[in-house]
Amino acid sequence: MKRPVVILLHIGYWLLYLLLLLIIFLSLTMGSHIKGQSLLMNRTFGLFFLVFALFPSVAGFYSFYAVLFSRFLAKKKILFLFLGSIIASIAAGIGGASVLSLLKYYNIGPGIFADGWTSAIPVTIIMCVLALLSGVVGLVMKGFISWYADIKLKEELNKKNYETELALVKSQLDPHFLFNTINNIDVLIEKDAIKASAYLNKLSHIMRFMLYETKTEKISLARELEYIREYIDLQKIRFANANYVQYSVIGAVDGIEITPMLFIPFIENAFKHSANRKMEHAIRIQFTIADGTVAFECSNACSPNEPFAQAFHGLGNELIQKRLALLYSGKHEVSIEDAADLFTIKLQINCQ
């Protein structure tokens, strides 16, 4: 909590306390007289009453607020807190009694020994109680300020953790993709150098995309889909079957923004684990956009003995789920269908 706000809390409390004292003072002095003078107009009595009610309260409040909370309550030393509270309250009460006696020495107020110890003891006890009550308020206020500070600290830590998690995800995504793509082009160089050059240009576009555009939190869906199209083209250089992949986009993509490289892990795994490369449409990738929602479906033919656990090999299912949870908490749905010869993942994201 910022220092000006804390100061305002203290000022507000003491203004309310003084207002309460004023109400009590007026109720006590209305119609009362001392030596023929109204108590309401008696400055000496007013000063005496102010010291009596204010000194132990201030002493109790700040001894609890500044000392007892940090030394005992924050460390959960309840017994020491109880003993410290009693000692601090008694000390504040005795301190207030001493100030009243000093004022009496200078003929200000009646002091506390008007009737000897018969009056001194009750007055001191009352001031001890005032100190204790104000001290409890001090503990509550300090506890509230500390609780609020803890909340803000946790928010900052969560934000830092979020940024760290996101950076970790990106750092694991990019090298894996680049490694596979470079290997694909390396294979093509031996077969067709001209084609390899064209695909190197595509790779250059993708690298530029990853270096500059993926550093932002959001990019246009159209740009993400263009990147996916280039990625698929680069993957196709490994296959003689031109219809090995079916890719389609349904709906208008204008005005929609998405987190960069959100779908690539699923597409990459589809290529990695797809079986029978001579099969028509062994990999099917479809985007359906409607009312600010992006529905992504990716399926690939797979071997019947392909273990389910390998479906997200490379990035890992846990990492992918963590990224989605960080970026689209409560705004995404994932479903997985693992049939004998077909693996399908469906991801729906609300981008509004």
Residue pair 231/267 in contact (Cβ under 8 Å)? The answer is yes
- Is residue 29 located within the same domain as residue 148? yes
pTM, two decimals, is 0.50
By mean pLDDT, which of 86-100, 266-280, 287-301 is the weakest? 266-280
* Residue where the block lists tokens 């308020």: 137
- Please tell me the number of Cα atoms within 13 Å of 35 on its side-chain side: 4
CA dihedral for 315, 318, 323, 324, sign (positive or negative)? positive
- Is residue 341 located within the same domain as residue 270? yes
Q: Is 181 part of a structural domain of the chain?
A: no
- Is residue 143 located within the same domain as residue 232? no
Number of domains into which the chain is organized: 2
Q: What is the pLDDT of residues 278-312, one digit of tens each?
A: 788 889 999 999 988 999 999 988 876 655 444 44
Q: Which residues constitute the domain of residue 118? A: 3-156
Query: How confident is the prediction for the chain on average, in pLDDT?
Result: 80
- The CATH number of whichever domain residue 261 belongs to comes to 3.30.565.10
- Is residue 138 located within the same domain as residue 206? no
Q: Is 92 part of a structural domain of the chain?
A: yes
As a whole number of angstroms, the distance between CA 305 and CA 168 comes to 32
As a whole number of angstroms, the distance between CA 267 and CA 136 comes to 62
DSSP state of 276: -
Helix and strand numbers (H, E) in the chain are 8, 10
pLDDT of 67 > 60? The answer is yes
Q: What is the pLDDT of residues 161-198, one digit of tens each?
A: 666 555 655 555 556 667 777 887 887 788 888 888 88
Average pLDDT over residues 93-102: 88
Residue pair 210/261 in contact (Cβ under 8 Å)? The answer is yes
- Is residue 329 located within the same domain as residue 226? yes
- Please tell me the number of Cα atoms within 13 Å of 288 on its side-chain side: 6
Instruction: Please identify, among 156, 177, 204, the residue that sits at the C-terminal boundary of a domain.
Output: 156
- Please tell me the number of Cα atoms within 13 Å of 232 on its side-chain side: 22
Alpha-carbon distances, residue 127 vs 53, 156, 189, 226 (angstroms): 7, 43, 93, 77
- Is residue 143 located within the same domain as residue 215? no
Which of the given ranges, 115-124, 150-159, 317-326, has the highest pLDDT on average? 115-124
Three-state DSSP at 248 gives strand
- Is residue 99 located within the same domain as residue 150? yes
Q: Is 284 part of a structural domain of the chain?
A: yes
- Is residue 22 located within the same domain as residue 97? yes
- Is residue 243 located within the same domain as residue 152? no
Q: Is 38 part of a structural domain of the chain?
A: yes
DSSP state of 246: E
Instruction: Please identify, among 133, 156, 179, the residue that sits at the C-terminal boundary of a domain.
Output: 156
DSSP state of 40: G
